[in-house]
Amino acid sequence: MDRQLVEKITKEVLNSYQARKGSVKNILAIFMGGDRAIEESLAAMRSIAKGFKVKAFITRAAQSVIGLERIKQSTGITDIILDDGKQNPQQLSGECDLLVIPTLTLNGLSKIANLITDTAHTNIVVGCLERGIPIVVARDAVFCSCYPLPAANSGLYRRVEGYVNDLKNMGIVVTSAQNLAQEVFNIAGQMTKKVETTIGSAGKVFATPIAKFGPIIDKCPAFKDGVDCSSCGLCVDKKTGSVQAVLAAGADRIGNFSASDSAKKFAPLIDHTLLKANATQEEIGKLCEEAKKFGFASVCVNPAYVSLCSQLLRGSGVKVCTVIGFPLGAATPTVKALEDRDAIANGADEIDMVINIGALKSGNYQLVLDDIKAVREATRGKILKVILETAYLSREEKIKACELAKQAGADFVKTSTGFGPSGATVEDVRLMREVVGPAMGVKASGGIRSTEDAQKMVAAGATRIGASASVAIVTGQSAGKGKY
């Protein structure tokens, strides 16, 4: 088919889609019976209800745990549907332009992830998925407050993280209660500037809204004045009342294993990597076969091989990870975002971007934030890891880079490209974990060549390992020296 004709049709469809997004009016909110971060969830729904017509579907559990009157008084929502088993889920899912779940529970999470429709509310969710209606969920309430939050190396933590990733892979936006309203406004089009269109080299079409900075960053006096972030109180992890929400959001990330686990159990943490310039198709094919055999989290390849890996790994459960702005990080935010869109159009599931290292070292933090933010918006619904290239940075610069990545909404911070002067160190991983806390993942990469190396990184706080010596790591061997 003529490429110009394809682009013309695509733009017309996306213009229509953008118009529909900008005209979002009817939002359906499903309240499940979670009991964590309720105040933040109700406050978010109050903000949303001021800009849209919101109908609330209140499950029986929510009626018991949160209470009908509390929901009505705290949110200002008057159009209420009580779950009595008589509703028509198909009708409800067809009447809304956007679905919001402010209090997602563990039961709800597992049922949605497995497409189980034995309740009215999960039936509504699946109906929205079938119709392509955007869905935003806050997952703070997944773990009941009557129990302590599970450790990052527990089986429960990893299982929940798997469910959360299942939701993301279905296109559901998973966020915190603190950021719920912002995500809804972004998706609804109130903050959307335009829709960028890319036809990937694999022939697929991909579009994404480019949002302005969220209200927290735009209005943050601490960030603008360059003072300590804790003086502001707007950011979720600095706000005393939201600490539990941040901790709960930690289950939104890749799980952890203790250093005492056997070598093979590192496989789900590993991005099996081949990024050398002279990598051949045969080598990429072998990489994918090894990833399937050992059950690695992903293969990490250059963008040119994303489409091939996507085909070779289809149905295997192994993700396709690629690199953006690699390895120097010196491209502009616009170019990185375009590169990102093309990679996702070709089948990328996860994105590892290199920050603008020179801008960071020059103290131009706004440019660094713009850089990450541009790729974050282009990567909506996918995992984003931000490569700091720690070998070039001072301790203070590493801390600042982690703070900016967290502020921009990245999912992980990552140590190195493997092409710099040196790779991951235990000290850097430990520092990065201290800065980002439990709400983000930390990827250690560069020079990890044995099970012992991987154990040290995980013990320091790494939740993902980037390595070309992956097979040696999971078989208890050593691959000798190497940069990646």
Which residues are catalytic, by number?
352, 414, 443
Closest CA to 302 of 361, 342, 333, 257: 342
Calculated CA dihedral for residues 149, 154, 160, 166, nearest 10 degrees: 150
Rounded Cα distance, 254 and 267, in Å: 12
Judge contact between 473 and 448, C-beta under 8 A.
Answer: yes
Instruction: Tell me whether residue 18 is exposed, middle or buried, using C-beta atoms within 10 angstroms of its C-beta: 0 to 12, 13 to 18, 19 or more.
Output: middle
Rounded Cα distance, 11 and 14, in Å: 5
Judge contact between 445 and 414, C-beta under 8 A.
Answer: yes
* Backbone dihedral region for residue 355 (phi beyond 0: left; psi -120 to 50: alpha; all else: beta): beta
User: How many other C-beta atoms are found inside a 10 Å radius of the C-beta of residue 331?
Assistant: 18
CB proximity list for 389: less than 8 A, separation 6 or greater: 327, 329, 354, 355, 357, 415, 416, 417, 420
Rounded Cα distance, 297 and 307, in Å: 17
Rounded Cα distance, 100 and 173, in Å: 10
Closest CA to 172 of 139, 215, 210, 205: 139
Which segments of 85-211 are extended strands (E)? Answer: 98-101, 135-138, 173-175, 192-199, 205-211
Which segments of 296-455 are extended strands (E)? Answer: 298-301, 319-324, 350-354, 383-387, 412-414, 441-445
> In which residue are the tokens 């912002």 written?
182
